[in-house]
Chain A
Amino acid sequence: MAIVSPTEPPQGQQVLQGVLSYLLSRNDAPWTQSALGGASVDQVQYTQPHMAYSIGVDALASGQFLDAAQPMGWRYLLIDPSGAKSLAEVYLATGSDGNLAFSAVSYGPTGPATVDALSDLEQNNASVQSSDYELRYLQVPALAFFALWLHGASDDIIRPIPPTPVTVMDPVAMAPSQVQPGLQQAAQAVQAQQTQFSGPSGG
C-alpha cells in the first residue's frame, strides 16, 4: 500500500532542465542562491511529479468541492543533494499551443511542507498504510488554502499544509466532508468582501 504519483510527462525532465539551467546562472537572485544553499547544481535532484489542482472561490461558495477541482499542471519538487529536503517547487503546464511548458518556480514554504506532511501521513495515517492513493496538490490562493490531496479508489484524504493559517484549517488529515464546510464559509466571506469593497480591492 502506498502513495503513488502518476507517470511523468515525456518532456518533463527536458523542460525542467531548462529551468534549472536558468536558476544556475541567476547570480543576481538571492532567493535562488538561498534556496540552493550552496548546493552544486549537478547534484540537485527532482521528484516524480504530481498534478496540481485548484478550485474557484465561486464554486466553493456554491457548495462544490473536489468535484469542481481542475487539474492545472504538473508540480515537481527540487530536492537537495542529500535527499533530505525540498529546495523549491517547479510548475509545468500545458500551454495554449498544447505543449508542456515551464510555468513557475517557487521558493516558498509549500515545498518543505509537502515533504513533512507526506512523512507524517506515511508514518501515522492508518488509511495510507492500508490503501493506495494518488498524490495530488490542491491550492486555493484566494483562501490561503494549500493542501495535499490523496485520491483513493473509494475515498479521499485532505491534508492542509503551511502556510495555510490555522484560522483557516488545521494541518491534520481530514475527510473531504470535514474540509468542505470551512472552505465554503471562507469562500462566501470572500464574495461578501468583494461586494462590500467594490472596485480594485483585494485580500
Chain B
Amino acid sequence: MPFPQSLTVRPLGLTAGGGASGGGGPVASGTLSPPFTMQQQQQTNWCWAGVSTSVGLFFTNGSWTQCAVATSAIPNFPSPPAGPFDCCSNASPCNIYGYLDVALQTTLSYGSMQSGTLGWGDLQGQITSNHVPVCLRIAWNGGGAHFVSICGWSVDSSGNQYVDVGDPGTGAITTQQFNGSSAFPATYSVVGGTWTHTYFTQNQGL
C-alpha cells in the first residue's frame, strides 16, 4: 500500500553524531539488563496479568503465561468471584480487573507495595542498583485504572528527567518526561492520570 499522501513529511534537521539544534543528549541513564520486554495484555482487562507475567519472565523464575497467571491469581483476589477458573481454556470469565500485588506474588516477583509515587532517586536505585523494574498503578483521568512498569531512566543535559515505561496496553516501550510541566503521568497515554500505588519487585524464585 502506498505511503499516504495526506502525511506531509519533512526532514527533521538533525546531524549524525552531532546531536541537534534543539537540545543535548542524555548525561546519565540506566536500563535493565537483559532488556525488559513488556507483553501485550491478552484480554482487555489483563494489564495485571501482562505486567506480572513480563516481570516474572524478566526474572527467569518460571515459564509464565498470562492465562496461567490469571488462573492462579484470581482465587487469591480480595473477594474473588465464584470459580473455578481455567483461564487458558476459557478466558472470558477471567477478563476482569485485578490486583497487581497478588499477580506479582503468583509470578514470584513481589517485593512490597506502597500508596503514592516513588521519588526520582529511589526510582533510579531500583533500576540501576537493584536491577529490577518498578511497577505502578495509574488512575486514568476520567475513569479506569491501569498497571505499567518502569524499566529505565535518563537525564539530559538540560536536567530533563525521563522514564522508560513498558505498557501492556500496547506491549511497547514509551519514553515519557518525568519532571517539568508535563510530569509523568499527567499526559501519559494521551489521556493522562494519577500515580496512585507503587509496586516494588523482587525475584523470589532465587
* Chain A interface residues (CB < 8 Å from chain B): 2-5, 13-22, 24-26, 28-32, 40-48, 52-59, 61, 72-73, 77-79, 83-84, 91, 93, 95-97, 99, 101-110, 115-116, 118-123, 135, 137, 139-144, 163, 165, 167-168, 186-187, 190-191, 193-194, 196-197, 199-203
B154 & A26 in contact (Cβ 8 Å cutoff): yes
Bound-complex Cα distance A165 to B78 (A): 28
A24 & B25 in contact (Cβ 8 Å cutoff): yes
Q: How far is the CB of A170 from chain B (nearest CB, A)?
A: 15
**Which of B16, B22, B45, B190 makes the CB contact (< 8 A) with A193?**
B45
Bound-complex Cα distance A103 to B183 (A): 8
Q: A56-B141, A144-B169, A203-B45 are in contact. Are A48 and B7 (CB under 8 A)?
A: yes
Q: How far is the CB of B192 from chain A (nearest CB, A)?
A: 7
A58 & B190 in contact (Cβ 8 Å cutoff): no
* B182 located at the interface, meaning its Cβ lies under 8 Å from any Cβ of chain A in the complex: yes
Majority DSSP secondary structure for residues of B touching A? loop
Chain A residues with CB under 8 A of B47: 202-203
Q: A139-B190, A142-B144 are in contact. Are A14 and B77 (CB under 8 A)?
A: no
Counting from the closest, the 9 A-B pairs by CB-CB distance are: A56-B142, A95-B181, A142-B144, A17-B22, A25-B25, A18-B23, A108-B172, A57-B143, A203-B45
A-B contact pairs, 18 of them (CB 8 A): A18-B156, A28-B152, A42-B14, A42-B15, A72-B192, A73-B190, A95-B180, A101-B177, A116-B1, A119-B3, A123-B2, A139-B191, A141-B144, A186-B44, A190-B144, A201-B97, A202-B144, A202-B146
Most buried by A among B14, B47, B113, B152: B14
B10 & A46 in contact (Cβ 8 Å cutoff): yes
B142 & A163 in contact (Cβ 8 Å cutoff): no
Chain A residues with CB under 8 A of B20: 17-18, 20-21, 24
A73 & B24 in contact (Cβ 8 Å cutoff): no
Most buried by B among A25, A72, A139: A25
Number of interface residues of B (CB under 8 A): 83
Closest to A105 in B: B175
A21 & B22 in contact (Cβ 8 Å cutoff): yes
A45 & B97 in contact (Cβ 8 Å cutoff): no
Closest to A81 in B: B11
A22 & B162 in contact (Cβ 8 Å cutoff): yes
**Which of A101, A187, A202 makes the CB contact (< 8 A) with B145?**
A202
A202 & B48 in contact (Cβ 8 Å cutoff): yes
* B87 located at the interface, meaning its Cβ lies under 8 Å from any Cβ of chain A in the complex: no
Bound-complex Cα distance A50 to B30 (A): 32
Bound-complex Cα distance A90 to B152 (A): 18
A106 & B9 in contact (Cβ 8 Å cutoff): no
A118 & B46 in contact (Cβ 8 Å cutoff): no
Chain A residues with CB under 8 A of B12: 13, 16-17, 20, 44-46, 78
